[in-house]
Amino acid sequence: MRPNKIKQMWHAGQYVTLGWLSVSHGFTAEIMARQGFDALCVDLQHGTAEMRDVWPMLQAISQTETVPVVRVAWNEPATIMKALDLGAYGIVVPLVNTAAEAAMAVAACRYPPIGMRSSGPVRALHYGGPDYVAHANDEIVVMAMIETKEGLANLDAICATPGLDAVYIGPADLSFALGMAPRGDNPDPVHLATCDRILETAHKHGIKAVMHCASAAFAAGAVKRGFDMVMLTSDLSCMIAGARLQLDELKAKAG
């Protein structure tokens, strides 16, 4: 089976860069995949993609060495299994509140006897290799998002869930949970301390911690604080930033 670069980098003690796909188009996915991210995530929760968009976007990513990841819209086994069958090598599950919910997400990503994933890797078999089914349980990465009051209350138990590879911080919803206005790259000391507590708890249980960032500066800080993966930027953010940069430069130079 094709090895999962995310796991290889983690085993080597390296941090992983993750890009984000909010636009549901194969060409956008291909362009982002060619920029050098270690992994790239198709966002089914808040992006414009629907399940019918996933397979062409994964095909586009697969032209490169970038690892294909999907954030599902909900902790729903059928959707998780479908994304995996289409070739996702990592699954991000939002709004995980309890150890039982984390265990359900893990089970949907693992074939029996470990989990309940149904056998039918229609595209994953061709992307991963003919021995995909025999090794998928060891290669697929499962990440549970910690971003609610209940999730924080159950953090220790969630991180102790057998088979869970990482917890993923959703900073905007985590801001809600802490009584703050939602924002990325939140500099509030309470927010930062909460993120560090999530990181420490994950590492205590031998799993990884992921920080969703909105800038290179904040992502670099997260890496220095010990985070194992940082989401750096999205296709949409780059489009907006690039257009604004050119317009601002034109106005400044043209007067």
pLDDT in tens, 111-143: 999 999 999 999 999 999 999 999 999 999 999
Measured in degrees and rounded to the nearest 5, phi and psi for residue 97 equal -110, -25
- Mean pLDDT along residues 172-189: 96
Q: In the chain, what percentage of residues exceed pLDDT 90?
A: 100
**Tens of pLDDT along 4-29?**
999 999 999 999 999 999 999 999 99
Query: Which residue is catalytic, options 46, 135, 191, 212?
Result: 46
Strand 39-43 relative to strand 16-21, pairing = parallel
* pLDDT over threshold 90, residue 203: yes
What pLDDT does 236 receive?
Answer: 97
Domain residue ranges of the chain, discontinuous segments joined by +: 5-254
How does residue 255 score in pLDDT terms, banded at 50, 70 and 90? confident
**Tens of pLDDT along 61-80?**
999 999 999 999 999 999 99
Mean pLDDT, the chain, integer? 98
CA distance 14 to 156: 24
46: annotated active-site residue: yes
Distance separating the N- and C-terminal Cα atoms of the chain: 58
Handedness of CA 91, 97, 103, 104 (dihedral sign): negative
Q: In the chain, what percentage of residues exceed pLDDT 70?
A: 100
Query: What class has domain 5-254?
Result: alpha beta
Ramachandran region of residue 33, left (φ > 0), alpha (ψ -120 to 50) or beta? alpha
**SS3 sequence of the chain:** CCCCHHHHHHHCCCCEEEEEECCCCHHHHHHHHCCCCCEEEEECCCCCCCHHHHHHHHHHHCCCCCEEEEECCCCCHHHHHHHHHCCCCEEEECCCCCHHHHHHHHHHHCCCCCCCCCCCCCCHHHHHCCCHHHHHHHHCEEEEEECCHHHHHCHHHHHCCCCCCEEEECHHHHHHHCCCCCCCCCCCHHHHHHHHHHHHHHHHCCCEEEEECCCHHHHHHHHHHCCCEEEEEEHHHHHHHHHHHHHHHHHHHHC
Report how far Cα 252 is from the mean position of its chain's Cα atoms.
38
